[in-house]
């Protein structure tokens, strides 16, 4: 079915779930590299792990919003953020946030 040595694991993904798309994660990490990763993670403090998660979340948010900007070049920053909210959290929340759109993107909340 797949490539030898590649493990497929389903992952939870809001956008894909809403679109009813199958999501799989390919794991092409060599077992020795995976072992080293796990050892390093085990040695990290909770604060270090949280900082890493926070950084990855910020990067993912930035990249995903940038992709929306590229597909909606005429959109305002507020429209981009509303579209991002819709894709990540669903139409219901985006509709509830829309009346407050003028506040989106202020005070470093991007």
81 and 94 both lie in a single domain:
yes
**Taking a C-beta distance cutoff of 8 angstroms, is the pair 11, 23 a contact?**
yes
Token pair belonging to 103: 């506040």
**Taking a C-beta distance cutoff of 8 angstroms, is the pair 27, 3 a contact?**
no
Tens digits of residue pLDDT in 36-45: 999 999 999 9
Please report the pLDDT score of residue 1 as a whole number. Answer: 46
66 and 28 both lie in a single domain:
no
92 and 80 both lie in a single domain:
yes
pLDDT band at 10 (very low <50, low <70, confident <90, very high): very low
């Amino acid at each position: 079915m797949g490539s030898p040595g590649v493990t497929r694991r389903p992952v939870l993904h809001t956008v894909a779930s809403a679109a009813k798309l199958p999501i799989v994660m390919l794991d092409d990490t060599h077992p020795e590299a995976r072992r080293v990763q796990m050892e390093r993670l085990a040695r990290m403090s909770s604060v270090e792990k949280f900082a890493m998660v926070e950084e990855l979340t910020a990067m993912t948010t930035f990249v995903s919003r940038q992709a929306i900007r590229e597909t909606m070049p005429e959109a305002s920053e507020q429209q981009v953020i509303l579209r991002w909210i819709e894709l990540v959290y669903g139409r219901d929340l985006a509709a509830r946030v829309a009346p407050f759109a003028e506040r989106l993107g202020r005070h470093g909340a991007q």
